[in-house]
Amino acid sequence: EYESQKKYNSSREIYLKLFKKTNKYEYLANYLNLSFLLKDYKNVKKHASLNMIENIKQEEMILKIYTLSLLQLNEKEETIKYAKKLVSKFYHKSNHTLLASIYLDLKEYEKAEEEFEKAYKIDKSMETLQTITNIQYFYTNQKEKSKNTMLGYIQKNSYPFNLSLQLLSFYEKDKEK
């Protein structure tokens, strides 16, 4: 009821009390989610780390919220450690994308590219491919590889507009130099 009225502080306190009384992790997950929404990253860190249990239904969600909170708290080493754990336990595009984004934030472009490529292998989305080719073109000095990758994708996939536009912009940038 409180959530529907956007009274998140009250809602999360109820979830925490319910978790402490019942030890049901869906309540902890809801508490952590609302705490993250309220930007209370220290409380997320505290309660997630105290209650990190493997092989429960909510493990991935708790681990993801914990990792994102560590990132917000600027705890880079711990963030990478838990993001890697997330990727190794739960093989999803979003988890690889999260780790890749952390690497981007740390300006570790080769590692970011590698993780985005893993994400791309999972879903083959054009948006992920655009991210990879942007990293290649702007950060890892692989301009030709970037353009060739886009050209190959464009020719095989009926000339998608956004990717064609990106490739054109790369050619224009190269002409300017």
81 pLDDT above the threshold of 90: yes
Token pair of 87, please? 């990727």
Segment (H or E) for 100: helix 93-105
Distance CA 12, CA 33 (A): 9
- The whole-number pLDDT of residue 7 equals 74
- The whole-number pLDDT of residue 2 equals 57
Distance CA 112, CA 67 (A): 17
Is residue 152 helix, strand or coil?
A: helix
Distance CA 55, CA 52 (A): 10
The pLDDT > 90 percentage for the chain reads: 82
- The whole-number pLDDT of residue 31 equals 96
Phi, psi of 156 (to 5 degrees): -85, -15
Token pair of 160, please? 């998608």
Residue 160 near residue 126, CB atoms below 8 Å: yes
- The whole-number pLDDT of residue 14 equals 93
